[in-house]
């Protein structure tokens, strides 16, 4: 009878401690992986005089070293377009591109103390991110590219601008954004809305199909994405909420 009572008491104590520890971890846990998808609005500042806004789509996979340190692999597809066939230069392009982007993302929550809530709790989800991208440019002449100017040289010939219909290039992305986190019943971030602004510096000069001018091409992207948590759950050193 005494042995049974001791066993029952020990079991009750063990169960109580386990429950207490479990409750203490609520709010500290997060998924190590996210999958995301979304859309971008692209503008290319290159050698064509007119800038147009065109859409793209993306899907990404995220490894979360912590809730606020993320490694992102992203596949993009979309359109870059600009210029005007009727302008003096005649430069016009429509680039149906595909791109792979690898970047590291650091959110403010990794660096600041937001335990008291308030403004710091809002600021914790701002982030900066950078890495490198690889883009495959594709323009089909003559419908997607015009390199013949509407002015003539002194010898009577029209200017033909240099460039490539198809090319592969590296670029450097620099991104700032904000991640809105939604929590499940266990206070784990299970769904996120990612709002971002990304400046991409071309290391070559052919995103628009022209290799004229002194400056390299620059692509601007405004994006909105959805992320869904999946995979193993682990704990952070402080509450994520």
Whether residue 135 has pLDDT greater than 90: yes
Question: Residue 2: its pLDDT value, please?
Answer: 52
Element spanning 5, H or E: helix 2-25
pLDDT tens for residues 151-167? 888 787 899 999 999 99
Whether residue 42 has pLDDT greater than 70: yes
pLDDT tens for residues 85-127? 999 999 999 999 999 999 999 999 999 999 998 999 999 999 9
Nearest to 27 by CA among 70, 67, 65, 71: 67
pLDDT tens for residues 48-85? 999 999 999 999 999 999 999 999 999 999 999 999 99
Beta pairing, strands 126-138 & 145-146: unpaired
Q: What are the residue ranges of helices labelled H in the chain?
A: 2-25, 118-123
pLDDT tens for residues 196-231? 999 999 999 999 999 988 899 999 999 999 999 998
Asked if residues 66 and 235 have their Cβ atoms less than 8 Å apart, the reply is no
- In whole numbers, what is the pLDDT of the chain averaged over residues? 90
| Pairwise CA distance, residues 157 & 186, whole Å | 72
Element spanning 238, H or E: none
CA angle (21, 238, 59) in 5-degree steps = 110
Whether residue 11 has pLDDT greater than 70: no
pTM for this entry = 0.86
End-to-end alpha-carbon separation of the chain, Å?
A: 47
Give the distance from CA 210 to its chain's centroid.
26
Residues of 114-137 as b/e, b for ≥16 C-beta within 10 angstroms? beeeeeeeeebbebebebebebeb
């Amino acid at each position: 009878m005494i042995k049974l009572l001791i066993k029952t008491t020990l079991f009750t104590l063990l169960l109580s401690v386990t429950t207490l520890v479990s409750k203490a971890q609520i709010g500290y846990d997060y998924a190590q992986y996210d999958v995301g998808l979304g859309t971008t609005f692209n503008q290319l500042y290159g050698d064509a005089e007119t800038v147009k806004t065109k859409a793209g789509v993306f899907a990404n996979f995220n490894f979360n070293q912590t809730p606020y340190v993320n490694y992102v692999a992203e596949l993009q597809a979309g359109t870059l377009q600009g210029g005007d066939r009727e302008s003096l230069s005649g430069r016009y392009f429509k680039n149906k591109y595909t791109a792979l982007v690898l970047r590291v993302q650091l959110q403010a929550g990794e660096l600041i103390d937001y335990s008291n809530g308030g403004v710091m709790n809002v600021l914790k989800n701002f982030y900066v991110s950078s890495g490198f991208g690889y883009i495959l440019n594709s323009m089909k002449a003559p419908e997607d590219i015009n390199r013949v100017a509407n002015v003539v040289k002194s010898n009577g010939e029209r200017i033909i601008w240099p460039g490539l219909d198809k090319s592969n290039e590296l670029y450097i992305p620099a991104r700032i954004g904000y991640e809105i986190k939604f929590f499940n019943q266990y206070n784990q971030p299970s769904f996120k809305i990612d709002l971002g602004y990304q400046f991409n510096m071309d290391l070559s000069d052919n995103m628009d199909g022209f290799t004229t001018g002194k400056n390299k091409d620059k692509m601007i992207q405004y994006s909105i994405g959805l992320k869904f948590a999946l995979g193993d759950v682990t704990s952070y050193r402080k509450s994520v909420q």
